[in-house]
């Protein structure tokens, strides 16, 4: 065991020697060496709630925070690996920006954009490292979330649902950035995609539950299991039973 506690969204440093992660219930971010040494806080109470860190090859860490507007949605920020030079790169856009994922060379970020008007649905968008030159990748009727940029730079995997009713409604989709084509590579109940280093496979979680009243009900024994699948949707198999 590396650390004991309730941590989320771990991400490797470019050199593979550190992990950056969030402590969800307090909205703080830390980094730690992979042997468990040198636990280092990167944010504190003055930064408000901070989540979704992603560490680029250039050294910048992208994350989301509501520091400037604690009662407003979270937006995109960047900082240095030591927690310094925190910068709001939202540029006063309306709505929310979350779940950043760096391009392989560290010059662009794909993220989940939500206008927050109560009618629109989350879409995916790309900005440069300064938060400018936004390009929207999706603009349909689905709930698009959890983008992950492939290491070869050619594709973006994400979770998508037409209804947003329970995790069973979500599937993993792979978007080809060159021609804009999409391919669903899983059945329903799949989310949280992560690429293999060679961009040939995806790891994801299965958790098939359905809403029942104010709670959720498990409808599959695959709940909470890790799976892998080829990037074309073939050869899906469980990693954890």
**In 27-186, beta strands by DSSP E:** 28-33, 40-41, 50-55, 61-65, 75-79, 87-88, 96-102, 108-114, 123-128, 135-136, 143-149, 155-161, 171-176, 182-184
Residues in the chain: 241
Query: Distance between CA 121 and CA 101 in Å, rounded?
Result: 19
Q: Report yes or no on 211 lying in a domain.
A: no
Is pTM, for the whole model, over 0.85? Answer: yes
Domain count, the chain: 1
Q: What's residue 218's pLDDT?
A: 46
Residue with tokens 């970020």: 109
Q: Is residue 151 part of a domain?
A: no
DSSP letters of 55-101? E-TTS-EEEEE-SS-TTS--EEEEE-TTS-S-EE-STT-SSEEEEEE
Instruction: Give the CATH number of the domain where residue 86 resides.
Output: 2.120.10.30
Task: Please give the pLDDT value at position 211.
Answer: 53
Distance CA 46, CA 66 (A): 11
Range of the domain at 27: 7-139
Domain assignment present for residue 132? The answer is yes
The answer to whether residue 102 is domain-embedded is yes
pLDDT of residue 220: 47
Sequence-separated (6 or more) residues with CB below 8 Å from residue 82: 40, 42
In a domain, 77, yes or no: yes
Residue 62: inside a domain, yes or no? yes
| pLDDT score, position 208 | 63
Is 154 part of any domain?
A: no
| pLDDT tens across the length of the chain (241 residues) | 566 667 788 899 999 999 999 987 778 999 999 998 999 999 988 888 899 999 999 999 999 998 877 667 899 999 999 999 999 999 877 789 999 999 999 999 999 998 766 557 889 999 999 999 999 999 878 899 999 999 999 999 999 998 766 666 889 999 999 999 999 999 888 989 999 999 999 999 987 655 555 544 444 444 558 899 999 999 999 887 6
pLDDT score for 6: 72
Residue 208 in any domain: the answer is no
Phi, psi (deg, nearest 5) at residue 47: -90, 0
């Amino acid at each position: 065991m590396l650390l004991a506690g309730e941590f989320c969204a771990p991400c490797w440093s470019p050199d593979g020697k550190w992990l950056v992660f969030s402590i969800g219930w307090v909205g703080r971010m830390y980094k730690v060496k992979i042997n468990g040494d040198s636990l280092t806080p990167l944010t504190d109470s003055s930064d408000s709630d901070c989540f979704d860190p992603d560490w680029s090859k250039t050294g910048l860490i992208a994350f989301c925070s509501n520091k400037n507007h604690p009662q407003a949605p979270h937006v995109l920020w960047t900082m240095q690996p030591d927690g310094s030079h925190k910068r709001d790169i939202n540029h006063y856009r309306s709505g929310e920006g979350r779940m950043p994922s760096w391009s392989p060379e560290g010059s662009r970020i794909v993220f989940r954009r939500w206008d927050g008007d109560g009618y629109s649905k989350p879409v995916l968008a790309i900005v440069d490292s300064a938060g400018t030159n936004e390009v929207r990748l999706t603009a349909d009727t689905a709930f698009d979330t959890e983008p992950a940029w492939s290491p070869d730079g050619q594709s973006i995997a994400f979770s998508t649902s037409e209804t947003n009713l329970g995790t069973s409604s979500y599937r993993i989709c792979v978007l080809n950035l060159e021609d804009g084509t999409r391919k669903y590579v899983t059945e329903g109940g799949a989310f949280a995609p992560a690429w293999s280093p060679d961009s040939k496979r995806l790891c994801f979680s299965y958790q098939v539950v359905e809403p029942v009243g104010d709670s959720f009900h498990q409808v599959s024994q695959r709940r909470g299991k890790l799976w892998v699948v080829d990037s074309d949707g073939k050869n899906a198999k469980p990693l954890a039973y």
